Amino acid sequence: MKLLEEKIRSEGKALSETVLKVDGFINHQVDPVLMSEIGKTLASYYKDKGITKVFTIESSGIAPAVYTAMELGVPMVILKKQTSKILTGDVFQTNITSFTKGTSYELTLSQNYIQPDDVVLVIDDFLANGEAATGATRLVEMGGARIAGIAILIEKAFQRGRKRLEDNGYEVRSLARVSKLGRGLIEFTEADL
């Protein structure tokens, strides 16, 4: 997606060979015009895949997931990183480790928000090693639902996440694929959408 690549070039900051800072438009301050275009692009690709729900992991995936769900006319479900006193009843949980933060947490889904006949689109902001997306797929499968695809805003194509997900049989589509990072350096390879 050229619009996203342009935004990354103009406002993103490569802090190292593995860290790309996009907090000015994706994961701290959100650019609603960009998110609307992302939602339209993803919905256009997935419109004929029978999607019944869009899933994302809190918190950076919420904005693109909301816009995509709105375009598809389906609910959006947030997979929780932290346990909550109000999240009671039966839940599915799986442990994942964040590449960026280097911490582990229990990813949680209330069983109320998934049915065996659901067809789920998983949306995440970044794909590095694939741990978060793999955790999301585990929760969907615990609920007996089917995964139609995994949509990524920014893929670090030089890391193993895509291969890991594709080796497990998932279709991965990325809006921007970063091929190389370095202090002040951001290079792209061809994206899927």
Would you state the structure tokens that stand for residue 71, as one six-digit string?
């375009």
User: What pLDDT does 11 receive?
Assistant: 97
Q: Pick from 171, 173, 162: which is nearest to 42 by CA?
A: 173
Least confident of 95-104, 154-163, 175-184: 95-104
Confidence of residue 100 (pLDDT cuts 50, 70, 90): low
Evaluate whether 38 touches 1 at the Cβ level (below 8 Å). yes
User: What pLDDT does 83 receive?
Assistant: 66
Evaluate whether 77 touches 113 at the Cβ level (below 8 Å). yes
pLDDT tens digits, 173-183:
999 999 999 99
| CA–CA distance, 18 with 176 (Å, rounded to integer) | 15
φ, ψ (nearest 5 deg) of residue 172 = -115, 130
Q: Please determine, for residue 190, whether its predicted confidence score (pLDDT) is greater than 70.
A: yes
User: What pLDDT does 82 receive?
Assistant: 73
- pLDDT (average), residues 87-98: 83
Confidence of residue 99 (pLDDT cuts 50, 70, 90): low
Name every residue whose Cβ is closer than 8 Å to that of residue 15 and which is 6 or more positions away in sequence: 21, 183
pLDDT tens digits, 146-156:
999 999 999 99
User: What pLDDT does 184 receive?
Assistant: 87
Q: Where are the alpha helices (DSSP H) in 22-130?
A: 32-46, 62-72
Q: Please determine, for residue 85, whether its predicted confidence score (pLDDT) is greater than 90.
A: no
- 66 three-state secondary structure: helix
Residue 193 DSSP label: -
Q: Please determine, for residue 162, whether its predicted confidence score (pLDDT) is greater than 90.
A: yes
- Count H helices and E strands in the chain, helices first: 5, 10
The residue whose two tokens read 């947490």 is 105
Which residues contribute to the annotated binding site?
Answer: 20, 27, 128-132, 156
Per-chain mean pLDDT for the chain: 94
- 13 three-state secondary structure: strand
Per-residue burial over 66-97, b = 16 or more CB atoms within 10 Å of its CB, e = otherwise? bbbbebbebebbbbbbeeeeeeeeebbbbebe
Which residues contribute to the annotated binding site for 5-phospho-alpha-D-ribose 1-diphosphate?
Answer: 128-132
Which residues contribute to the annotated binding site for xanthine?
Answer: 20, 27, 156
- Which CATH fold topology does 31-177 show? Rossmann fold (3.40.50)
pLDDT tens digits, 105-152:
889 999 999 999 999 999 999 999 999 999 999 999 999 999 999 999
The residue whose two tokens read 């290079």 is 187
User: What pLDDT does 98 receive?
Assistant: 73
| CA–CA distance, 90 with 111 (Å, rounded to integer) | 6
| CA–CA distance, 167 with 84 (Å, rounded to integer) | 33
